Amino acid sequence: MCFERYKVEIMTTVLLLFGITLGIYVFIFYNFISGRQCKSDSSLKGKTVIVTGASGGIGKMTALDMARRGARVILACRVQETGEAAVYDIRRTCGNNQVLFMKLDLSSLASVRSFCKAFLHSEPRLDILINNAGIQDYGKTVDGFNLMFGVNHLGHFLLTLLLLDRLKHCSPSRIVILASIAHDWGKIDFKNLNPPTGKWSDTMQSYCDSKLANALFARELANRLEGTAVTCYAVHPGFVHTNVIRNIPQWLRVMLFPLAWLFCKTPMDGAQTSIFCAVEDGIEMYSGRFFANCQVKQVKPPARDDAVAKKLWEISEELTGLVS
């Protein structure tokens, strides 16, 4: 009888501890992990939005929100099969049939030019450009650039500048650039913009460098757009459970998966700051600034160095063939 009572007491204690732990986790998740939600109910009917890398993750959730607001949404994706599948899912979810796939491979400057030519020929408007796509992998682009510098920065740089006149024509308009808090560990070495990425540590450093380039691009772009009704914003989505880290070593993925599942944002939560910067009224004065958790954030000196931002812009123009 005493043994049975002892078992009941143990079970009660275990259940109580489990309940307390679960309660603490739920409190932490909803107050500190999931982050703020974009509260704007702005309609985007009659507007056209491009979201790069929208076949999954943050990009797909961002595109879904834009479609729910009534926008005509172009999913600019590298892989046709996954891009068209995302179009089908978004249309079915929100009932907006003005969601389309267009092929865009940011690792190829020729593909970027082809996409822009096709878009400008077929679409009369562009109101919001969301440079969401990103990669964390080793190797080189089609044009011989470090893969992350080429895709995360140069591809989006060329895309933005080729579409800029259309954005100005349809102003007020916005550009959202998906950066990352990882820019804190980045550096811009103008003598070595194409470092090797064979080692995982080199790959991580190149990723951080490309995110710093994103933040500097937004800053210089805002300077050059001053006096127009086009604004731009760099955003940190938070730590989100997506497939962006699919190329890290298998052993590390196995270790990180439980932590990612428990302590990382969902893709929809991760999309909130991008959505906020795309639709929130009254943030135009913060053009070129860095946003996280749906609010403007101060960045460290390397990310607000105007001289470096200007030089990076000029070199990017040369590398993408915008100037000879």
Residues marked active site are found at 207
Residue 64 neighbours by CB distance under 10 Å: 25
In DSSP notation, 25-61 reads HHHHIIIIIS----------TT-EEEEETTTSHHHHH
Measured distance CA(231)–CA(286) in Å, rounded: 8
The dihedral over CA atoms of 202, 206, 212, 215, expressed in degrees to the nearest 10, equals -150
Q: Which residues contact 323 (CB under 8 A, 6 or more apart)?
A: 317
C-beta neighbour count of 66 within 10 angstroms: 32
On whether the CB atoms of residues 237 and 35 are closer than 8 A, the answer is no
- Cα 7 to chain centroid, rounded: 52
Name which of 56, 85, 91 is nearest 73 in CA terms. Answer: 91
Asked if residue 99 lies in contact with residue 66, where contact means CB atoms within 8 angstroms, the answer is no
User: Would you say 56 and 268 are in contact if contact means Cβ atoms under 8 Å apart?
Assistant: no
Q: How far apart are CA 214 and CA 216, in angstroms?
A: 5
Q: Which two tokens stand for residue 321?
A: 């063939």
